[in-house]
Amino acid sequence: MDKPKILDQVRDAIRVKHYSMRTEEAYVYWVKRFILFHEKRHPLQMGEPEVSKFLSHLAVVGNVSASTQNQALSALLFLYQEVLKQEIGWINNVKRAKKPSHLPVVLTKKEANG
C-alpha cells in the first residue's frame, strides 16, 4: 500500500493531537504553499535554507503580517518535527515581517462611563 500523501499525513498528525479544524486548514494551506513555492519538491528534499527562503519571500514580496509569517513558520515546524520526524534546527536567515507599531486606544473615565 502506498504511503499517504504529505498533506494527508499533516492532517492525520494534526487530528491525533486534537488541534482545531481552523489550525488544520491553516497548516495544510501553508505546507501546500511551501511545496508549490519550491516547484513541488518533497519536503524531505528540503530543509532550513528552503524554509528560510519561503518565509523571507512571504515577508518581503508577499508583505504578510508578522502573525501570518509566524503561522506559516509554525506550520512548517509542525511538518518537519511531527510529520517527517526531522529536526531542522533553528530558522535563522529569515527576513522577519514587521510588527505594526500602534498605540492602544485608552478611554478616559468619562468616555468609558458614557
Domain of residue 54 covers 6-95
φ/ψ (deg, to 5) at 71: -65, -45
CATH number at residue 76: 1.10.150.130
**For residues 102 and 13, what is the distance between their CA atoms, to the nearest angstrom?**
37
Domain count, the chain: 1
Q: Is residue 38 part of a domain?
A: yes
Q: What is the pLDDT of residue 1?
A: 59
- Give, for all 114 residues of the chain, the pLDDT tens digit: 567 799 999 999 999 999 999 999 999 999 999 999 999 999 999 998 999 999 999 999 999 999 999 999 999 999 999 999 988 776 666 777 777 666 677 878 888 786
Q: What is the pLDDT of residue 112?
A: 78
Spell 19-45 as b/e; 16+ CB within 10 A means b.
eeeebbebbbebbebbbeebeeeebee
Q: Is residue 104 part of a domain?
A: no
Q: Is residue 10 part of a domain?
A: yes
Give the predicted TM-score (pTM) of the model.
Answer: 0.81
Q: What is the pLDDT of residue 2?
A: 64
